[in-house]
Amino acid sequence: MKPKTKIQHRIAELRERLLTSTYENEWAFEYCLEHRGFATKNRVICMDCGNKFSTELVSRKRAVCPHCSTKLTIEKTNKRTDKQLAYFTTSEICEEFQVVRNYEVYGDYRVGSKKNTCLREISQFWIHDNGKVEVVARVLHSGWQGNFFSGDLEIRNKYNMKKYDVYPDGIYPKSEFKPKFRKYGINSKLKGLTLFEAMTIIPNESKAETLLKAKMYGLLSLFNNHTNSVYRFWNSIKICIRNKYQVSINNATIWTDYIELLDFFNKDLHNAHYVCPKNLKQAHDKFVLKKQEFDRKVEFELKKKKAIEDQKKFNELKSKYFGISFSDKKIQIKVLESVEEYVKEGEFLHHCLFANSYHLKPNTLVLSARIDDTPIETIEISLEKFKVLQSRGKYNSETEYHNRILKLVNKNMNVFRNIKVA
């Protein structure tokens, strides 16, 4: 898009003056791309220089390449080529603007040759001293393989400009920051937010500033998409800060989920014992199970309530079959005589007996096959054709007694036929 406004024309003019140094390229290749060694039983290939060396140099998945002295992370694989894509951000001062610049970094690696690396600038955020922001970027395409950029760096529509931002693998350490950003603690050590996010969010959010100054990068990352959680649980976050309890960036939403569960169960959200668990994942999972159990109980209570409501209709339909039972000594088969029995049978065998309202079907009847009063399979018979429609055990499977149960029911089918006729 061609520059239209005064500020856009100013940016078009200043863009020519932006720094381009090769030093930051070298830093990006070194710091943002991983240095990998691909190892088989017999050799290691340094993917940085393409040369082979002995596996004896590997210790705890690390090695220093004897050819190029690169520190490598060793992976066991037969692969002979590799590709990497990473991102980095630099920031510089350009007259009345703070400029944040995002880059893609590529690495192409193959056995026998030195790595090929290149980088490409993908977006720039121009933040004016007066707070106004413009974006200069390539065209962003969203494809099924993810997002990619093409075309030239141009001034783009400001609507949804966040989409041109990327979370970087590193921020160039010699980046420059205007004093108004430095005073909030925004510098190249930032994590959890992108520089552009930090510069637009932190001046307006004292809570974000507090988290940044406390180096709580994980919780700071919540300002990306979960600002409400920060506000809601701020008192608990203060407990984390006081106890220097670090939540990693990857675990930040797990922590808020966990606090939400604590809140649900009325636990003390000011108590470090709950708020700062030693093993967050374990504590989270424990409360997830507890919540599932709780939900199951609520659902069961609702079912029971419905069962009481359904009981009258059920009696009208089925009471003439109540009391029927027969056995072959080991297996006992009986008619289910109340809706509650349907609920319990369905819960115990984990099938949809009650959920699908089998108790209100006018033309079928449900029987339970039991051994020592423990349900084994549930049988549905037709009251029109007097045959077994289905017989199912736990999770709708068939048990080892399946054929024996069918035989027993068929042998006694006349009991039902006679009642129907009467």
Beta carbon nearer to Zn ion, 50 or 203: 50
Candidates 65, 137, 171, 336: give the one binding Zn ion (CB under 5 A).
65
357, with CB counted inside 10 A (0-12, 13-18, 19+), is: middle
Considering only residues 167 through 186, tell me which ones interact with Zn ion, judged by CB under 5 A: none
Which amino acid appears at position 88 of this protein? Answer: F
Beta carbon nearer to Zn ion, 65 or 193: 65
Q: How many residues bind Zn ion (CB under 5 A)?
A: 6
Q: How many CB atoms lie within 10 A of CB 379?
A: 21
Q: Whole-number minimum distance, CB 106 to Zn ion, in Å?
A: 19
Beta carbon nearer to Zn ion, 65 or 195: 65
Candidates 14, 18, 49, 140: give the one binding Zn ion (CB under 5 A).
49
Q: Whole-number minimum distance, CB 69 to Zn ion, in Å?
A: 7
DSSP string covering 224-238: TT-HHHHHHTHHHHH
DSSP string covering 136-154: EEEEEEEETTEEEEEEEEE
Q: Whole-number minimum distance, CB 52 to Zn ion, in Å?
A: 9
Candidates 68, 133, 241, 324: give the one binding Zn ion (CB under 5 A).
68
Stretch that binds Zn ion, among 8-16, 61-69, 184-192, 216-224 (CB under 5 A): 61-69
Beta carbon nearer to Zn ion, 46 or 171: 46
Which amino acid appears at position 174 of this protein? Answer: K
Stretch that binds Zn ion, among 60-68, 249-257, 292-300, 349-357 (CB under 5 A): 60-68
Q: Whole-number minimum distance, CB 39 to Zn ion, in Å?
A: 13
DSSP 59: B
Helix (H) or strand (E) holding 249: none
Strands laid side by side in the 388-392 sheet: 325-327, 332-335, 364-371, 374-382, 388-392
What are the backbone angles phi and psi of residue 297, rounded to the nearest 5°?
Answer: -65, -45
Q: Whole-number minimum distance, CB 171 to Zn ion, in Å?
A: 27
Beta carbon nearer to Zn ion, 26 or 316: 26
Q: Residues 90-119: x/- map of binding to Zn ion (CB under 5 A)?
A: ------------------------------
47, with CB counted inside 10 A (0-12, 13-18, 19+), is: buried
Beta carbon nearer to Zn ion, 112 or 173: 112
67 interacts with Zn ion by CB under 5 A: yes
Pair 127, 133: CB distance under 8 Å: yes
Q: Whole-number minimum distance, CB 66 to Zn ion, in Å?
A: 8
74 interacts with Zn ion by CB under 5 A: no
Candidates 11, 33, 46, 195: give the one binding Zn ion (CB under 5 A).
46
Stretch that binds Zn ion, among 62-70, 91-99, 113-121, 397-405 (CB under 5 A): 62-70
Q: Whole-number minimum distance, CB 45 to Zn ion, in Å?
A: 9
Beta carbon nearer to Zn ion, 67 or 213: 67
Q: Whole-number minimum distance, CB 58 to Zn ion, in Å?
A: 13
Q: Map residue 251 onto helix, strand or coil.
A: helix
Q: Which of 390, 369, 318, 378 shows the shortest CA–CA distance to 351? A: 378
3-state DSSP percent of the chain in helix, strand and coil, to 5 = 40, 25, 30
Q: Which of 81, 96, 146, 152 shows the shortest CA–CA distance to 123? A: 152
Structure tokens at 184: 């909030």
Q: Whole-number minimum distance, CB 164 to Zn ion, in Å?
A: 36
Q: What does the binding site for Zn ion look like in residue numbers (CB under 5 A)?
A: 46, 48-49, 65, 67-68
